[in-house]
Amino acid sequence: MTSISLPDLLFSQGFGTRRICAGLVQQGWVKCDRGQGLEAIDDSLTIEPSDGMHFQVQGVDWQYHAKAYVLLHKPAGTECSHKPSAWPSVYSLLPSPLRQRPAKTGLQGVQAVGRLDQDTTGMLLLSDDGQFIHRMSSPKHHVPKVYELVTEDPLNEQVVQQLLQGVVLNDDPKPVKAAACALTGSHQMQLTLTEGKYHQVKRMLGAVGHKVVGLHRSRIGGMGLPTDLAPGQWRWLSAEDLLLLR
C-alpha cells in the first residue's frame, strides 16, 4: 500500500475533515504504533498503513481498516436508517468514526447490509464496501439467512410444508419459498431464506395464517451470531468471519 500522511490516515478512518485530522496530529492527540509501540508522529512523516495497525486518537484505541466490515447485534426498538422515523437508529450504536468514514458515493460511513424491522433482533452486517454489500444482499448470490421466530398461535408440520413449497405474497405473483424450515417448539420455528423482500418473514407466515410476535436473525452464510456479543454491541469482522459469510 502507498504511504500516506497521518492526517490522511485519520481522514480515511472517519475522524473528521482533513483539516480537523491535521489539527489532532499537530496538537499531539494522535499516537501510532509502527511496530515499536505507540508514539507521537509528526504530521510531515508518512505511514504505510496495514489492516489492524494500532493507533490512538485522544486516548481512544483504534485499528486501521482499509475497508470496514462490522457485525452488530441489533437490539429491538431500533431502526436500520440514518433518518429514523420513530425509534433510535442502529447507527447511533456505532462509534462516530464508523459513521463518518468518507465514501466516493453520496452515502457517508458504513451502511447496513439489508434491513431488519425495528422489533427484529440479531445479526446485522455493516460495511463501506459496496461490492460486499451487494454480494451479501443480492438474491442472485443466494446467501442463506436464518431466522428464529415465535408466532401467536401454535404451528404444525403443514405450515412447514407450505413454506417449503412456496407461498404467494400480495405484491408478487411468483411463489416465495423457504430454503429450509423446521419447528423448534409449539409456537417456534427456524426459517432460512436466500432473498430479502420487505417484511418477508412476517408476510410469509401471514400468508399461511400466522402472526409473528418475535423475530431474531441468528445466522448469515456460515457464520452464527457470537454468544458473547450482547444486544447493542458491535465488533470488527475478522478474515475468518468473512470467509464464513461468503
Cell 403443514 sits on residue: 158
Q: Look at residue 136 in the predicted model and tell me its pLDDT.
A: 94
Determine the Cα angle at 49 with ends 46 and 55, to 5°. Answer: 90
Quick one: cell of 34? 509502527
Q: Look at residue 145 in the predicted model and tell me its pLDDT.
A: 97
**pTM of the entire predicted model:** 0.93
Q: Look at residue 38 in the predicted model and tell me its pLDDT.
A: 83
Distance CA 68, CA 237 (A): 8
Q: Answer whether 166's CB lies under 8 Å from 175's CB.
A: yes
Pinpoint the alpha helices (H) of the chain. 6-12, 18-26, 96-100, 130-137, 157-165, 200-207, 239-245
Q: Look at residue 235 in the predicted model and tell me its pLDDT.
A: 97
Concerning whether 43 is annotated as a catalytic residue, the answer is no
Q: Look at residue 99 in the predicted model and tell me its pLDDT.
A: 96
Q: What stretches in the chain show pLDDT beneath 70?
A: 1, 105-106
Q: Look at residue 108 in the predicted model and tell me its pLDDT.
A: 87
In tens, the pLDDT along 143-155 reads: 999 999 999 999 9
Beta carbons within 10 angstroms of residue 75's beta carbon: 16
Q: Look at residue 124 in the predicted model and tell me its pLDDT.
A: 98
Q: Look at residue 44 in the predicted model and tell me its pLDDT.
A: 77
Q: Answer whether 133's CB lies under 8 Å from 237's CB.
A: no
Q: Which domains does the chain have, with CATH numbers?
A: 4-63 (3.10.290.10), 69-140+223-245 (3.30.70.580), 144-220 (3.30.70.1560)
Q: Look at residue 1 in the predicted model and tell me its pLDDT.
A: 60
Q: Look at residue 106 in the predicted model and tell me its pLDDT.
A: 67
In tens, the pLDDT along 28-62 reads: 999 988 777 788 877 777 888 988 888 999 999 99
**Active-site annotation holder among 33, 43, 117, 119:** 117
